Amino acid sequence: MPACRNNITTETATMGRTVNLIRHAQSTFNAAFRQTGVDPLHFDAPLSPLGLQQVEAARAVLGRLAHDVVITSPLTRAIQTTLGLFGAAAPIRVEALHRERAENSCDVGRSPIALRRDFPMLAFDHLDDPWWHDSERDHRGIAVEAEETLQARVNDFRAWLAARPERVITVVGHGTFLNRLTGHRFANCEHLAWEL
């Protein structure tokens, strides 16, 4: 099983505000796409069996992270990673601003009502419906998000984080979005302590 990488710094809480960034574990989309290079049409893809193992392995280290709040994307793979790492008792907020760039089936979300059925311990009432990118659709039925729209959302998320009152924030999100935010290419379940 591929190990989850943890870039934990010892100066995490000594300067300014720290944001612990974590990419979700492997999804069924990630597993299928890796084998074929073709979108398997796994809408709002959940974690794969390997992804569940990655979360379990990472819990020993990442589950001990200090934070005032955990911010998770509403996409199922991020929510499953969040709950698997930190449990439902953690202070978790679902936020759509750092959802993944819409370019494949896995990036198309589900309604707040459907999410609430699957994750009744979390609040979804504040989300729009749809909360994911929705515009003209391609031949797969997917509304691909323009690069400039993504970059504007990254900038908005950075400003949103800066305005938060918490000193240590953990964010569970997605590879492309986190790469645009930090310039770092994240592996599944990888952690990076980032100074905001």
Domains: count for the chain: 1
Confidence at residue 5, expressed as pLDDT on a 0 to 100 scale:
54
Question: Mapping DSSP to helix (H, G, I), strand (E, B) and coil, where does residue 169 land?
Answer: strand
CATH number of the CATH domain containing 36 = 3.40.50.1240
The answer to whether residue 1 is domain-embedded is no
Confidence at residue 195, expressed as pLDDT on a 0 to 100 scale:
86
Within 8 A by CB and 6+ apart from 9, the residues are 193
Confidence at residue 8, expressed as pLDDT on a 0 to 100 scale:
41
The answer to whether residue 179 is domain-embedded is yes
Residue 105 near residue 42, CB atoms below 8 Å: yes
* Residue spans of the chain under pLDDT 50: 1-3, 7-15
Within 8 A by CB and 6+ apart from 3, the residues are 57
Of 88, 54, 95, 66, which Cα lies nearest the Cα of 193? 66
Confidence at residue 9, expressed as pLDDT on a 0 to 100 scale:
38
pLDDT in tens, 139-154: 999 999 999 999 999 9
Question: Mapping DSSP to helix (H, G, I), strand (E, B) and coil, where does residue 77 land?
Answer: helix
The answer to whether residue 30 is domain-embedded is yes
Domain that holds residue 66: 6-195
Tokens 């069924």 correspond to what residue?
A: 28
φ, ψ of residue 35 in degrees (nearest 5): -80, -35
Q: How far apart are CA 129 and CA 123, in angstroms?
A: 14
φ, ψ of residue 171 in degrees (nearest 5): -115, 125
- Alpha helices by DSSP H, listed for 40-139, are 49-62, 76-86, 112-118
Confidence at residue 11, expressed as pLDDT on a 0 to 100 scale:
36
Residue 179, burial from CB neighbour count under 10 angstroms (0-12, 13-18, 19+): middle
The H or E element spanning position 34 is helix 28-36
pTM: 0.91
The answer to whether residue 21 is domain-embedded is yes
